[in-house]
Structure 1
């Protein structure tokens, strides 16, 4: 899940600049996504998540005994590996943006908490895109137990990383 966990924090760190929605509003008068979703952040997150996944795969290939991993972690290598890690990273960012769209429709301002959704939107996006990219790989890697562990651990990791981001000044809210 590293390629899915890293894109959003890196998008926050390297973000800023032109918003993806171009400042446009919907017919309800609310922004489409808001200022927090920028092109620079999106592409920085996508690159960092993809590179992290490729590095993770390289480490697993080079040191499988030390890391206790069994191949294939992200597929059979080569293009398939790149597609899967890209899908996890892209899906993570897409899931977060998708829910930002709905949070704006609900009248929630940027940074307003939406418990559970805020902690799992990017995970759902990553899982859906990974499945679409490689259904066979997905069904081999993401068993019911693995998905359950992800759904339990992710909110805890999300809270810890957001509090850290708040204290180092990257996030305006600690949630």
Structure 2
């Protein structure tokens, strides 16, 4: 149980960055400046590469937000004398420069590991809102993938940094997926999101 609490304490800045990223990108001024990563271009099959939902601004914002929130979280844990609660600080010094870089790395990996999922969905003509258009197998597959895709990169990186076992990494990805669902449910409740 202690390990799970430490995992959540370690990952809290990234979770928060994901929420803030979504909120900020709903601000009309920022939303109007979102340009898709794929530049609106199509793949060889004539379909979009990633789609409009993956934007350059979203990618940059998530990366920077995660870095800044990691620095803030580091200061907070330091002030409360709780450094040992974070898995990172069992192996690395709680320093602003490290926190900013590791936060940015986590934010970057969060966004990067969402791209293959988007690419596959465009190939199969699966919309983000409909998740498989009634095709039950695809609907379930992409629902699960949407919850854990960004976790793969982050947890692999964290696993290397803090020496997690493969079983711990898989369990962390599973917990990340459950957390993603719960956070999305809250965002739907507060009308920030329209669907899971």
Give the TM-score of the pair, scaled to structure 2. Answer: 0.71
Alignment length, in residue pairs?
167
Give deviations 1:46-86, integer Å, cap 9, x for gaps. 22222111111111222125x76267267222533332221
1:60 and 2:84 are equivalent in the alignment? no
Aligned to 1:104: 122
1:171 and 2:188 are equivalent in the alignment? no
Change in Cα spacing, 1:98 to 1:119, as seen in structure 2 (3 Å) is same
SS of 2:186's equivalent?
helix
In the alignment, the residues of structure 2 paired with residue 159 and residue 109 of structure 1 have an alpha-carbon distance, to the nearest angstrom, of 18
Please report the RMSD computed on the Cα atoms of aligned residues, expressed in angstroms: 2.6
Gapped regions of structure 2 (runs ≥ 5): 1-10, 26-30, 132-138
Contact 2:66 2:104 survives alignment (8 Å): yes
Aligned to 2:22: 12
1:158 and 2:174 are equivalent in the alignment? no
Aligned to 1:118: 146
Gapped regions of structure 1 (runs ≥ 5): none
Instruction: Return the index of the structure with the highest Cα Rg.
Output: 2
Contact 1:21 1:34 survives alignment (8 Å): yes
Give the TM-score of the pair, scaled to structure 1. Answer: 0.78
Q: Specify which of 45, 48, 54 is matched with residue 31 of structure 1.
A: 48
